[in-house]
Amino acid sequence: MRYAAPLLMLAAAGCAQMQADLEKSAAFGANQAQQKLPEDAKPTPNPTPGADAEATPAPVEARPIGVSEEAFRALHQLSTETPPALKGEMVAVGGGQAYLSLPEGKVAPMPAVVVIHEWWGLNDHIKHWADRLAAEGYAALAVDLYGGKAGTTPEEAQALMKAVDPAKAQATLAEAYAFLAEDARIKAPRRASIGWCFGGGWSLQLALAQPEDAAVIYYGRVVTDPEALTKIHGKLLGIFANQDQGIPPKDVDAFEAALKEAGVDARILRYDAQHAFANPSSARYDAPAAEAAWAEVQAFLRAELKP
């Protein structure tokens, strides 16, 4: 029997609806309630960027180390019985479990990243992302905000996301953040977070709650209250899609303006792609945009975590 990897091969067809449901969830607190998304927002097969769409940023030069975009994409096109081996292991963090991937041959101290999953949950796709970050020299800890569960259909993912308790999620992220500094294998002197979609919003929330050195947000729910954003201590890299109907350019404009007013050192990048464009398991995967964004992330984390 051929290996069917539903957690890896799922198309992100439900992601736009997830963004609509996110407005109903308390998971992101009062700040997130400012974002209003029509309940019937659906992605179109070939949407045309709006007049306010910015040009795709030119990719920065990245060092030839780690996992290339082509190799990373191959991890999500599985067709044999045995999936590619993961590099890390599940570890106890607080009252739950997380996936820890460490750089080969490195010893503490080392920079570290909290990795926050999409609405599907902590599946192999996210674990491969942690491995990818470990290949860049970071201790990568992928948290589980669903308590050991993962969705294999949009309906399951939606139910899991809506069941997230915001206080428990914040506690899980705080425990992960502390783990990276305290664990004897890591002893991270500098820490960051990264997340996609649902996880992108939580990466921003972690930056608001903890004095982390940097945060990366891939098309996650934004906050547009400048006063709230003044709590951010480190630098921020936001990656968004001009064809994203869940988080449209006008919302990104408002987010960028609020960050500037709050005095946050932030860089907002926009790509002419759709939501979930960086996920090789998604029907909206855009290889050129994903590769360009990853080069930016590499440079950003290198600058902020390896000064």
CB 112 within 8 A of CB 139: yes
SS3 150: strand
Q: Is 125 a catalytic residue?
A: no
For 19, the token pair is 């963004």
Dihedral sign, CA of 102, 105, 109, 110?
negative
Q: Is 15 a catalytic residue?
A: no
Q: Would you say residue 298 lies in a domain? A: yes
Q: Which of 144, 183, 213, 244 is catalytic?
A: 244
> How far is it between the farthest Cα atoms of the chain?
57
For 123, the token pair is 């599946």
What CATH code is carried by the domain that includes residue 200?
A: 3.40.50.1820
Edge-to-edge strands, sheet with 191-196: 89-93, 96-101, 139-142, 112-116, 191-196, 214-218, 235-241, 266-271
Number of H helices, E strands in the chain: 11, 8
Q: Helix 198-209 vs helix 15-22: angle between axes, to the nearest 10 degrees?
A: 40
Structural domains of the chain, count: 1
pLDDT for 160-171, tens place per residue? Answer: 999 999 999 999
pLDDT (0 to 100) of residue 88: 98
pLDDT for 255-267, tens place per residue? Answer: 999 999 999 999 9
Rg (Cα) of the chain, in Å, rounded?
18
Q: Would you say residue 45 lies in a domain? A: no
Q: What is the pTM assigned to this prediction?
A: 0.79
CA atoms of 215 and 208, how far apart (whole Å): 10
Q: Which domain holds residue 139?
A: 6-39+59-305
pLDDT mean by block of 10 residues, the chain; 307 residues: 32 39 38 34 32 43 61 58 82 96 97 96 95 97 97 90 96 98 98 97 98 98 98 98 95 98 98 94 92 98 93
Q: Would you say residue 76 lies in a domain? A: yes
CA atoms of 165 and 96, how far apart (whole Å): 14
Q: Would you say residue 1 lies in a domain? A: no
Q: Which of 117, 125, 128, 275 is catalytic?
A: 275
Q: Is 244 a catalytic residue?
A: yes
- Beta strand 96-101 with 112-116 is unpaired
Q: Would you say residue 53 lies in a domain? A: no
Amino acid at 234: G
Q: Which of 197, 213, 251, 286 is catalytic?
A: 197
pLDDT (0 to 100) of residue 82: 60
pLDDT (0 to 100) of residue 46: 32
Q: Would you say residue 240 lies in a domain? A: yes
Q: Would you say residue 104 lies in a domain? A: yes
